[in-house]
Structure 1
């Protein structure tokens, strides 16, 4: 994590909701997004029920190679159009649990951001306008509220276009999100 990012995070923890929204909207406009090489694949909504793992890294990729990247990883279970999953970065223990319905490659629903053991999750948005949550620009959040060491977002849109499907791996996706 760069010094600039750390400074922004420290400042966000001390701001009220309106100030957080102003800063995160500005940050979303200046964010550098990356477009990994993607494969043409089946839409998430067309997949049979089961457990899946999608990544922003180029594929094919091994678990060992994936662990050395800054790729985002979405590990989820699908039942009908219902999705419950965890979005995390390969080299971080911060994550966000997403629960919602899928249409094509887009999931709409709610999410809970969980922080590392000695950190607190940062409220990125408590207003009505969506702001970008992740470095890839694929998860947009709004209507957040801080509850202890977690942040609950009542409304999220997660776009899996640009993600690549890989094997489900050895970990299981969450059964539910801790709202």
Structure 2
């Protein structure tokens, strides 16, 4: 999901500060407001902000930050406000709370996504946690209403899906490329792809020993949850 780059009004070459993140805590200190931020890739960082930022209700919110160069009490003063020294730092001067994530896949901006039927207490779901909990994932790219991605059982069978999304349901075709792949349904009757019940296929054809094409596929993602995209890039085509 793409977001606007942070606006640097001064010192544009400096880009270490996160542009977007979830605020974990706000603490008003001697030098500035200390903002603890959790980024989408799981990195935790504490940034300095103008004192008015600490007065806002930002904890737990996903926020876009704007920075500007400013002066704060020097760290060497060790809290002595009368020491007369200052440091020049990048301060958060504006914190814009971002809208909640869309509930329907059709409302997502264009981009790459991953959904999972499990739940985690961590903001970043690791591969180890996926392997431990199991389930299914759908890793896909969205362009308008067009969806292309891989639906698969963790550490199990997978299939490429291409179609259009309406609400949280993808309708289209699917291709399985797997040694020993066989047709699940040749006729008009939908049958489940695996035991999860999320995906049904029909009108299958065996194109080769390893490739099966289903010209009619339904993938219902209503009970799946948006998680971090992970390292695998979804396919452009099936």
TM-score (norm 1): 0.71
Larger Rg: 2
- Other-structure match for 1:160: 221
Residues 64-87 of structure 1, C-alpha deviations (whole Å, 9 max, x = no match)? 210223210100000000000001
Contact 1:59 1:164 in 2 (8 A): no
Residues 1:170 and 2:231 are matched in the alignment: yes
Which structure shows the higher helix fraction? 1
| Aligned match for 1:133, one of 177, 193, 197 | 193
> How far apart are 1:59 and its partner, in Å?
2.6
Shift of 1:100: 0.1
Unaligned runs of 5+ in 1: 1-39
Q: Which has the higher contact order (CA 8 A, sep 6+)?
A: 1
Gaps spanning 5+ residues in structure 2: where? 1-100
In the alignment, the residues of structure 2 paired with residue 91 and residue 144 of structure 1 have an alpha-carbon distance, to the nearest angstrom, of 24
Q: Secondary structure at the match of 2:129?
A: helix
Runs of 4+ aligned structure 1 residues displaced above 4 Å come to: none
Q: Which residue of 2 aligns with 1:103?
A: 166
Aligned equivalents of 1:67, 1:99: Cα separation in 2: 26
The number of residue pairs the alignment matches comes to 134
Q: Which has the higher strand share?
A: 2
Kindly report the root-mean-square deviation, in angstroms, between the aligned alpha carbons of the 2 structures. Answer: 1.4
Partner of 2:140: 76
